[in-house]
Amino acid sequence: MKLYSYFRSSAAYRVRIALNLKGLPHEIVPVHLLKGGGEQRTRDYLARNPAGLVPTLQEDDDWSLGQSLAIIEYLDEQYPGIALLPGDARGRARVRSIAQTIACDIHPLNNLRVLQYLKHTLAVGDQARDAWYRHWVGQGLAVIESLLARDSATGRFCHGETPGLADICLVPQVFNARRLSCMLEGLPTILRIEQACMELSAFQQAAPSAQIDAEN
């Protein structure tokens, strides 16, 4: 299978971690989001993913799928290896809720296309744009910290003793937060879990700096 990916996309980063955790052989196809107006806007790419966003998963029979969380759940249902979601309905619900707090409440507001709209269409200056970014990250990670710290289901990882969907979303979000110099004080549970994740090669090898299309 192939994963259309951009090294810095945190949605692609999520799927890279999932592929590694499941131990699934795959080819990374880089899609440069900035070069030449964005390779995600070419006719070929849009035929595969009409949203013009990364990532896209392509199976060997050419079936394609967009949306990182849908891709991860598909990989988990379709392939053997460690389970990325818990075995019980309430556990799955909790993990999905944490993942969606990142994927629906934080990340969409800080996506490249949104930052570009703020800059080019609304003429928002760099400083106000960084404040926007940090506002949503700060608010969102405080919610995640609260969800994690108050619940005995939290273990070495977001849910118990094995990494799964929630960790897969958390690590790229913390990476982004660091890149934009967001405050990470007051988030001890998040930082502890991030550290546990980053000890695993599945997470290390999915990092932006480890990608074939990595840039400084």
Residue 114's nearest CA partner among 138, 135, 141, 144 is 135
Q: How many residues does the chain have?
A: 216
Q: Does 65 bind its own copies (CB under 8 A)?
A: yes
Q: Does 50 bind its own copies (CB under 8 A)?
A: yes
Least distance from its own copies to the Cβ atom of residue 103, Å: 5
Least distance from its own copies to the Cβ atom of residue 10, Å: 12
Residue placing its CB nearer to its own copies in the complex, 100 or 204: 100
Residue 86's nearest CA partner among 31, 158, 145, 138 is 158
Distance from C-alpha of 103 to C-alpha of 105, rounded to nearest angstrom: 6
Site for its own copies in 82-111 (CB under 8 A): 89-90, 92-94, 96-97, 100-101, 103-105, 107-109
Q: Does 116 bind its own copies (CB under 8 A)?
A: no
Distance from C-alpha of 92 to C-alpha of 136, rounded to nearest angstrom: 25
Q: Which two tokens stand for residue 45?
A: 């790419």
Only one residue has tokens 């971690």, namely 17
- Using CB under 8 A, list all residues that contact its own copies: 50-53, 63, 65-67, 69-71, 73-74, 77-78, 89-90, 92-94, 96-97, 100-101, 103-105, 107-109, 114, 117-118, 121-122, 124, 128, 131-132, 135, 143, 146-147, 150
